């Protein structure tokens, strides 16, 4: 599909800007790495402050709910103010959240830090995705799919390593992330703006998730794939480390973070591998791998074999990345430039709501019924949603094939 045409309000680059694309990609990696950095610390916080598994998942969900609120309110703001001002506001908010994490002394401060972090990430998410597409219409959507997954994976692994082997486990990772964010804020001043300021910024702050008419049908078709992949991601980020430690019997933050790392990281690798495939092919591969991967993960839990659990996670990671990329590539190019960040806001609302609400329900179920029974039920739900998405995509493609064949036959008859 050709890129959207330029409008008076938007300066679409006539050629790719690799420097801008690299900067915005690394910034998204940093934001998502910061979002997963608390994951290996949850059990340390839980032991120090004595809160339940339900509260643990609520800490994760509070971040996501704040992110959703920010997306709904500010999702299209960068279409009016420009990308750089919105990104700068978000970076400052993220630095503030790192400061709250550094000074956190109880559960209330932890919740406050996650809420501020969620607001900052929500403000920046659609602006960064739109800025990537502004910078390169071909590579932008791919990088917007890869960067969040790689950021989540490396953030959890990096934090797990620091928690296990470095001093000041509850502080060092946040201090380092704050320094990185300060450097990125300074570099932002040198990045060219891609959107001209235009009136209507205050009106755009009305809570909404806008999907342009041209993208509504494709958006509805990919929603089951988005829900299944991000539901698994939410479970991994909240309860994944506890699950690995329960199955393995090894109480090590770095070991516990293997699932949290593998799922998004292999997802990013699968995006690179499958980036040239048609979006519907990526969705079918992704949902198929999610089904197989979840069955493998649940088998590993049942057999109490970490190797099988991790193998299943690796296959599910392929599905996570492929399904996410296929869904994003289906809808991302369909909006005009002036509505691009609003569409990304709606898309990410579906992603994060899937991760947060189902993960919170999983935490409550684990508190009532136990972690392992909850894992079986949660995994079965993800597999079922993936199956629905797979069957829906296959049926849709068969319908398109029949329509094309019918149209070809009709044209041949008319010529005759």
User: What confidence score (pLDDT) does residue 115 get?
Assistant: 96
Distance CA 376, CA 151 (A): 27
Rounded alpha-carbon distances, angstroms, from residue 69 to 74, 122, 176, 290: 8, 7, 27, 29
Average pLDDT over residues 252-260: 82
The pLDDT confidence band at residue 6, using thresholds 50, 70 and 90, is very low
The pLDDT confidence band at residue 188, using thresholds 50, 70 and 90, is very high
Distance CA 23, CA 115 (A): 25
The pLDDT confidence band at residue 392, using thresholds 50, 70 and 90, is confident
User: What confidence score (pLDDT) does residue 195 get?
Assistant: 78
C-alpha closest to that of 254 among 162, 160, 322, 327: 160
Average pLDDT over residues 266-294: 90
The pLDDT confidence band at residue 384, using thresholds 50, 70 and 90, is very high
Distance CA 256, CA 264 (A): 15
User: What confidence score (pLDDT) does residue 39 get?
Assistant: 86
Average pLDDT over residues 13-20: 72
Render the burial of 72-86: b for 16+ CB within 10 Å, e for the rest: bbbbbbbbbbbbbbb
Torsion region of 50: left, alpha or beta (phi above 0 gives left; psi -120 to 50 gives alpha): left
Kindly report the average pLDDT of the chain as a whole number: 84
Judged by average pLDDT, the poorest of 13-27, 29-43, 193-207 is 193-207
Distance CA 101, CA 114 (A): 8
Assigned CATH topology for domain 18-193+214-415: Growth Hormone; Chain: A; (1.20.1250)
Neighbouring C-beta atoms of residue 180, cutoff 10 Å: 18
C-alpha closest to that of 352 among 115, 28, 63: 63
C-alpha closest to that of 263 among 30, 25, 39: 39
For residue 7, pLDDT beyond 60: no
* pLDDT tens for each residue of 312-339: 999 999 999 899 888 888 887 777 766 7
The pLDDT confidence band at residue 23, using thresholds 50, 70 and 90, is very high
Average pLDDT over residues 188-209: 79
CA angle 161, 373, 389 (to 5 degrees): 85
Question: Are the beta carbons of 30 and 188 closer than 8 angstroms?
Answer: no
Neighbouring C-beta atoms of residue 280, cutoff 10 Å: 18
Average pLDDT over residues 218-222: 80
């Amino acid at each position: 599909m050709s890129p959207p045409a330029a409008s008076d309000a938007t300066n679409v680059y006539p050629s790719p800007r690799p420097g801008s694309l690299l900067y915005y990609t690394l910034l998204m990696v940093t934001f998502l790495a910061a979002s997963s950095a608390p994951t290996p610390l949850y059990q340390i916080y839980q032991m120090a402050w004595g809160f339940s598994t339900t509260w643990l998942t609520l800490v994760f969900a509070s971040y996501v709910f704040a992110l959703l609120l920010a997306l709904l309110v500010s999702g299209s703001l960068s279409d009016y103010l420009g990308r750089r001002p919105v990104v700068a506001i978000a970076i400052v908010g993220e630095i503030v959240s790192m400061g709250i994490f550094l000074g956190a002394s109880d559960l209330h401060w932890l919740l406050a830090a996650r809420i501020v972090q969620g607001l900052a990430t929500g403000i920046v998410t659609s602006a960064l995705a739109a800025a990537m597409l502004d910078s390169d219409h071909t590579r932008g959507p791919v990088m917007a799919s890869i960067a969040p997954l790689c950021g989540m994976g490396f953030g959890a692994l990096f934090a797990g390593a620091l928690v296990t082997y470095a001093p000041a486990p509850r502080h060092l990772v946040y201090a380092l992330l704050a320094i990185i964010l300060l450097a990125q804020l300074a570099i932002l001043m040198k990045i060219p703006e891609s959107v001209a300021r235009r009136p209507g910024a205050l009106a755009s702050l009305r809570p909404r998730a806008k999907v342009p008419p041209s993208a509504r049908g494709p958006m509805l078709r990919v929603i089951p794939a988005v829900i299944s992949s991000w539901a698994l991601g939410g479970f991994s980020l909240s309860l994944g480390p506890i699950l690995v430690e329960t199955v393995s019997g090894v109480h090590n933050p770095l070991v516990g973070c293997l699932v949290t790392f593998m799922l998004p990281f292999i997802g990013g690798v699968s995006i690179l591998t499958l980036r040239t495939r048609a979006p519907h092919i990526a969705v079918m591969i992704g949902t198929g791998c999610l089904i197989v991967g979840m069955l493998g993960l649940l088998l590993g839990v049942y057999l109490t074999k970490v190797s099988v659990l991790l193998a299943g996670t690796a296959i599910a990671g392929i599905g996570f990345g492929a399904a996410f990329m296929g869904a994003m590539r289906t809808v991302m190019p369909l909006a005009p430039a002036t509505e691009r960040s609003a569409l990304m806001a709606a898309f990410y609302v579906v992603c994060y709501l899937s991760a947060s609400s189902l993960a919170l329900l999983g935490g409550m179920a684990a508190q009532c019924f136990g972690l392992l029974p909850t894992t079986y039920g949660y995994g079965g739900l993800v597999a079922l949603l993936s199956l629905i998405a797979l069957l829906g995509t296959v049926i849709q493609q068969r319908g398109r094939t029949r329509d094309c064949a019918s149209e070809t036959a009709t044209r041949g008859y008319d010529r005759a």
